[in-house]
């Protein structure tokens, strides 16, 4: 599953945003005074007017009277404003959760103990810290969770590509611009708006980065429920969305979790090509095609290679079959539009890219993160599963003596597959 990128100044603590230079005749965030909406309009108007009031980032101890003086009604008003701002910034939903993940900690440690994380050593390295937001960012009491749709508005039908063994299937979240950059900037803009209104607002923002239990937090914030495939599901949006979080010490009112609506359905378990979903709500990443083609750095286990088919970056099978994705809406974000024809390209064409072409054509793409060698490794597996043809065998043969042992081994396996046919 996709993970990376954080925003925030300072190490191990909050980025503290403050409006400096205020004197008694300037708006103060006091209980019983203006509503947060009114206050924010005043502050934004002052900034637009160029009166010199600017935002500064300050690390360390600071005066937090403005935050402390927010009344319960003021905090509730601010929470409503945050959700409205999120919508204005392109998030389809924003919710607020408390920071108590103790119920999830035992499940996480059991999952790690069973080795289901594979080569993702960073998950075991941080261990229980994932379930303790206050350890990751001291002082955290609330998490603002947001989701953003990613399904491209114009994209080749997934089933059509998957059923054509000569073509390369790339998970649809990765066919556009790298979501880390998009989400990070939007979360920062949301945090900036809060900072405009709350003196002493302290936060750190994450999107698929650091040891954060995104699905658990999003579920507690009311954005959906954990599906049997372990992804977050929403009745109005399915699962085709990214998640991001803002950790803060501002005690905002929280939203309640949603009910589980998977019922007796187990289509995601049945469709998984490698049987990576070993039980409802349990994923063995070592068998997951998304893990094998993205996170896994070494040779792909031979027994799993034929099951991967033409999936060269990620796998959407468990989402494609989910009934709730009938309600998923395409993204209106230009950044998530398909780039470089990645939704409908042949395995041979992609395998023929030079390293320079890989870097140029995937600039700004999440795919670039796996590097050229793993890209060739994945494509060699796809070509090994492709229908036998002279073009396929020639393409593989051209890299039979490739400098990388990782690539050579997968090419040899693919060629042997065709020799046996």
Q: Is residue 203 a contact partner of residue 189, using CB atoms and an 8 Å limit? A: no
Whether 208 is catalytic = yes
Sheet strand arrangement including 345-346: 311-313, 167-170, 345-346
Read off φ and ψ for residue 114, nearest 5 degrees: -85, 0
Q: Is residue 64 a contact partner of residue 200, using CB atoms and an 8 Å limit? A: yes
Rg of the chain over Cα atoms, rounded to whole angstroms, equals 24
Q: Is residue 276 a contact partner of residue 287, using CB atoms and an 8 Å limit? A: yes
The b-or-e profile of 102-117 (16+ CB within 10 A means b, else e) is eebbeebeebbeeebb
Distance (Å, whole) CA 233 – CA 226: 6
Q: Name the 3-class secondary structure at 359.
A: helix
Return the closest-CA partner of residue 346 out of 152, 175, 170: 170
Number of helices followed by number of strands (H, E) in the chain: 18, 14
Distances (CA, A) of 54 to 20, 43, 180, 365: 7, 10, 27, 34
Helix (H) or strand (E) holding 160: helix 158-162
Instruction: Characterise 90 by phi-psi region: left (phi > 0), alpha (psi -120 to 50), beta (else).
Output: left
Distance (Å, whole) CA 143 – CA 95: 8
Q: Is residue 380 a contact partner of residue 414, using CB atoms and an 8 Å limit? A: yes
- The active-site residue, picked from 208, 249, 255, 343, is 208
Distances (CA, A) of 16 to 4, 12, 52, 78, 310: 22, 12, 19, 18, 47
Helix (H) or strand (E) holding 6: strand 6-7
- Which residues are part of the catalytic machinery? 208
């Amino acid at each position: 599953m996709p993970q990376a990128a954080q925003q925030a100044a300072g190490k191990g603590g909050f980025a503290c945003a403050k409006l400096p230079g205020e004197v008694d005749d300037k708006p103060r965030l006091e209980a019983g005074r203006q509503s947060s909406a009114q206050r924010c309009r005043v502050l934004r108007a002052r900034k637009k007017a160029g009166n010199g009031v600017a935002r500064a980032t300050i690390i360390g101890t600071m005066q937090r009277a403005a935050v402390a003086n927010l009344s319960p009604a003021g905090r509730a008003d601010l929470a409503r404003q945050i959700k409205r701002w999120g919508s204005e910034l392109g998030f389809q939903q924003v919710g607020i959760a408390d920071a108590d993940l103790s119920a999830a900690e035992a499940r996480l440690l059991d999952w790690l103990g069973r080795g289901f994380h594979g080569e993702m050593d960073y998950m075991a390295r941080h261990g229980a810290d994932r379930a303790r937001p206050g350890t990751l960012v001291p002082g955290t009491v609330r998490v603002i969770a947001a989701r953003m749709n990613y399904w491209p508005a114009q994209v080749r039908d997934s089933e059509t590509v998957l059923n054509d063994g000569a073509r390369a299937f790339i998970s649809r979240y990765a066919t556009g611009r790298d979501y880390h950059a998009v989400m990070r900037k939007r979360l920062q803009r949301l945090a900036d708006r809060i900072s405009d209104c709350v003196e002493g607002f302290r936060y750190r923002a994450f999107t698929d980065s650091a040891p954060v239990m995104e699905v658990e937090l999003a579920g507690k914030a009311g954005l959906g429920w954990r599906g049997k495939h372990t992804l977050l599901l929403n009745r109005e949006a399915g699962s085709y969305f990214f998640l991001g979080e803002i950790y803060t010490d501002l005690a905002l009112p929280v939203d309640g979790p949603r009910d589980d609506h998977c019922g007796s359905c187990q289509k995601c378990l049945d469709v998984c090509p490698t049987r990576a979903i070993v039980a409802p709500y349990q994923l063995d990443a070592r068998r997951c095609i998304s893990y094998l083609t993205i996170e896994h750095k070494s040779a792909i286990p031979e027994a799993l290679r034929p099951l991967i088919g033409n999936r060269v970056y990620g796998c959407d099978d468990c989402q494609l079959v989910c009934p709730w994705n009938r309600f998923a809406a395409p993204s209106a974000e230009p950044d998530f539009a398909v780039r470089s024809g990645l939704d409908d390209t042949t395995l041979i064409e992609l395998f023929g890219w030079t390293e320079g072409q890989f870097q140029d054509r995937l600039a700004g793409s999440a795919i670039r993160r796996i590097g050229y060698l793993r890209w060739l490794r994945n494509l060699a597996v796809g070509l090994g599963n492709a229908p036998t043809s002279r073009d396929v065998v020639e393409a593989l043969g051209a890299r039979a003596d490739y400098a990388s042992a990782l690539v050579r081994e997968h090419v040899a396996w693919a060629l042997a597959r065709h020799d046996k046919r």
